[in-house]
């Protein structure tokens, strides 16, 4: 369970790094939702604040400094869970085909780094 939690933290961090460095800057050229000052990136920061707390706790559990308690894992995950689910819902809606067509031609979409 500890390693699974640490892998979750690592994979989500990696996923957001790719989005922020390679995908969002391209999308932001035409889609205001992906500009740095707006909500999707703000949500990344909120999610990562919670992820860091979870990761620190899990590292303490892995090292034996603390016993792993599922109620503590749940508490930490609940701390960023709402913003994570909101973020995922908004991202899916923003990237759906009908919305993408408002900003990009089919040829442009084919060349996007995804």
8-to-3, 36, 37, 58, 61 alpha-carbon distances in Å: 9, 24, 26, 11, 15
pLDDT, one tens digit for every residue, the chain (114 residues) = 899 999 999 999 999 999 989 988 999 999 988 887 678 888 999 999 999 999 999 999 999 999 999 999 999 999 999 999 999 999 999 999 999 999 999 999 999 877
């Amino acid at each position: 369970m500890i390693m699974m939690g640490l892998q979750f933290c690592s994979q989500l961090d990696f996923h957001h790094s790719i989005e922020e460095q390679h995908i969002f800057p391209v999308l932001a050229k035409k889609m205001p939702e992906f500009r740095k000052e707006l909500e999707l990136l703000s949500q990344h920061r909120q999610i990562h604040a919670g992820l860091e707390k979870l990761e620190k706790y899990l590292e303490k559990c892995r090292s034996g400094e603390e016993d792993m308690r599922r109620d503590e894992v749940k508490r930490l995950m609940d701390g960023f869970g709402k913003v994570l689910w909101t973020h995922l819902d908004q991202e899916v809606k923003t990237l759906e085909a009908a919305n993408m067509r408002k900003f990009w031609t089919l040829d442009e979409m084919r060349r996007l780094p995804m």
